[in-house]
Structure 1
Amino acid sequence: MSEQAAITTFDAESGFSLISKKVLYKGFFQLDEYTFKHKLFKGGWSGEVRREVFERGHAVVVIPYDPIRDEIVLIEQIRVPALATTKSIWLLELVAGIIEPGELPEKVAERELAEEAGLSLLGLTFINSYLVSPGGTTERFHLFLGQVDATKAAGIHGLEHENEDIRVHVVSREQAYKWVNNGRIDNAATVLGIQWLMLNYQQIRDSL
């Protein structure tokens, strides 16, 4: 598939000129080719530069935390791309999901917590948003703290029509942090979320 866009962006102040954007592949995900010029730090402008950009939308990540029991709910599911660098392709993760067109991140957080962990939100706090890997993808994650009752977390979850097979784990905050430190948890969104919790858990518990 190839769809060519004409020049769409020129911003002399920012020093960036988008010459064209071409769709190379479009399936569940999309791969685009950007052709552009930009100002150089040494002065002047670059020649034409081409970069392939992975388009997969944006997503929400939720830290399901029970501040009363000081426990965190993690999910475990298969991640085939992990085959390239890890021994196990079943990863421990935070709850997460893609934002559909027109959907609010807060609604995604509520939906995914129910679908992936069978839990209801008792409270939701926005933490921050960040670019996942801006060298290759446009994707941005929106990170939330979701207050939950961890005693209600158990079992197997996920949507059958999406071939999801998700197992729920409830662990202490300290145990989750140990898994980050020893590398058992090694996916970026989960590492960042648990590290944020370690820095802020006391303030959360004191506010109860």
Structure 2
Amino acid sequence: MRKNQNVIGDLNNLGKIEVIEKSTPFKGYFQVDTYRFRHSLFEGGLSQEITREIFERGHAAAVLLFDAKTDEVILIEQFRPGAYAAGMAPWLIEVVAGIIEPDENAEDLAQREAMEESGCKIGRLEKIGTFLMTPGGSSETIALFCGEILSQEIKDTYGLDHEGEDIRTHRIKASESYKLMNTGKVTNAITAIALQWLELNNERIRTKWLSD
């Protein structure tokens, strides 16, 4: 078990973090690290010692597939065991997403997952942002893009068999996707962010992509 003792860092000059101990009690496909730390308080001084487990599952990228010519989006639907465990409907409407491999960047991941999960070849990518998903207990970030649909290989289902993926796609008007979000049918947070962004930037991105 690897341990780092008494490391003090300064993040963006906003405050001090004293890591008393970091250990890794579990390492499998994912990893759990345990931190013992103190951090600076807004009123001055340091907090009491805090112990937290952090879920390390890597960093991810996601892409909202958008056809500027037809003003349509392609969303995917698949079973999510975490949603089932939370007591929610487990077949979620989502944007394409995946974990970034060590030898690829977020843009490459977006291209790869678009083909694997939806059969889509995509062109230009517009960066929406990078977001922490559950910063209270995980280090995971998601780099989110809007991707230009160039073509789609039509199939009944998509995904990789060896990863247990069973995915279908839905091509709908962008305006209909906003209604899905506004009526609570989209419960995946990164998908909601992507659709809200498109609703605000639809005219700008269509003008940009159609004029080039």
Give the TM-score category using the shorter length: over 0.9
Q: Which residue is 2:4 aligned to?
A: 6
Identity of aligned residues (%): 42
Instruction: Tell me the SS of whatever aligns to 1:88.
Output: coil
Q: Which residue is 2:103 aligned to?
A: 102
Q: What residue ranges of structure 2 are gaps of 5+ in the alignment?
A: none
Counterparts of 1:153 and 1:129 in 2: how far apart (Å)? 30
CA deviation map 1:63-83 (0-9, x unaligned): 100011110001111001112
Q: Which residue is 1:33 aligned to?
A: 34
Q: Tell whether the 8 Å contact from 2:31 to 2:55 is kept in structure 1 after alignment.
A: yes
Aligned-partner residue type, residue 34 of structure 2 = E
Give the aligned CA root-mean-square deviation in angstroms. Answer: 1.7
Within-5 A mapping of 1:195-206: 195-206=196-207
The range that moved more, 154-163 or 142-151, is 142-151
Q: Which residue is 2:77 aligned to?
A: 76
Q: Which residue is 1:62 aligned to?
A: 63
Counterparts of 2:130 and 2:4 in 1: how far apart (Å)? 31
Aligned-partner residue type, residue 47 of structure 1 = Q
TM-score by length of 2: 0.91
Does structure 1 residue 144 correspond to structure 2 residue 145?
Answer: yes
Within-5 A mapping of 1:155-170: 155-170=156-171
Q: What residue ranges of structure 1 are gaps of 5+ in the alignment?
A: none
Q: Which residue is 2:93 aligned to?
A: 92
TM-score by length of 1: 0.93
Deviation at 1:119, TM superposition (A): 0.8
Deviation at 1:127, TM superposition (A): 2.0
Deviation at 1:45, TM superposition (A): 1.6
Deviation at 1:124, TM superposition (A): 1.6
CA deviation map 1:29-60 (0-9, x unaligned): 11111011112222222222101111111100
Counterparts of 2:128 and 2:139 in 1: how far apart (Å)? 20
Counterparts of 2:61 and 2:6 in 1: how far apart (Å)? 29
Aligned-partner residue type, residue 21 of structure 1 = K
